[in-house]
Structure 1
Amino acid sequence: MSTNDLILTYLDIWNERDSAAREALMTSVLTDDSLYSDPDYAGLRGHAELSKAIGKAQQSFGDLRFTLGTVIGTHHDRALFTWRLGTVATGYDVVEFTGDRISGIIGFFA
């Protein structure tokens, strides 16, 4: 999978409402011990913790969906990109790769 494909699939995780389907997406692009942090959550480790946080966050999203803005840059084992949540929110994420999967995500709200 290309870097762009990994990022798009990661955003699909945030859009997936079915927990079993979300877990399948997570398995395809996140390491088992992936680490997630954003202004609302610090140090979520692994698929179960992230999935629980996503399910909780989705309750306030309504029908809004995440889309990719721009992949600003990539180097070595990291990428920086922008995202949009419908027309109401934007942000930046830095992802870190281990092999062909994402092992760390740091999110920022704009």
Structure 2
Amino acid sequence: MSATDVILAYLDIWNERDAAARLTLMKSVLTEDSLYADPDHAALRGHAELSESIGRARENLGDLRFTLDTVVGAHHDRALFSWKLGTVATGYDVVEFAGDRIRSIVGFFT
């Protein structure tokens, strides 16, 4: 699986409204001990914490969907990409891979 494929699968997690389906996606995309941080969250560890946070966010996002804008670059076990949330928000994420799954995500809003 390419870095782009994994990133697209990661964005699918953010777009999934159903908590059970989201957790299933997480198991295939994120390591069990994955770490997530963004300007609003210092450190969410593991599938349950991130899924709960995504669930709360989805309640406020309505029909808005996350899409991949550009994979800026990827090397070794890391990638930098930009994303869009409909037409209302953009940002960048840095991900660290562990094989074909993501070990950590650090997000930035623009």
Residue type matched to 1:78 in 2? R
Residue type matched to 2:67 in 1? T
Which SS does the other structure have where 1:95 is aligned?
A: strand
Gaps of 5+ in 2: none
Tell me the percent identity.
74
Aligned partner of 2:87 in structure 1 is 87
- Runs of 4+, deviation exceeding 3 Å: none
Distance 1:19 1:102 in 2: 19
- CA apart distance, 1:99: 1.5
Distance 2:69 2:83 in 1: 5
Count the aligned residue pairs: 110
Aligned partner of 2:62 in structure 1 is 62
- CA apart distance, 1:77: 0.5
- CA apart distance, 1:72: 0.2
Aligned partner of 1:24 in structure 2 is 24
TM-score (norm 2): 0.98
TM-score (norm 1): 0.98
Which SS does the other structure have where 1:63 is aligned?
A: coil
Which SS does the other structure have where 1:73 is aligned?
A: strand
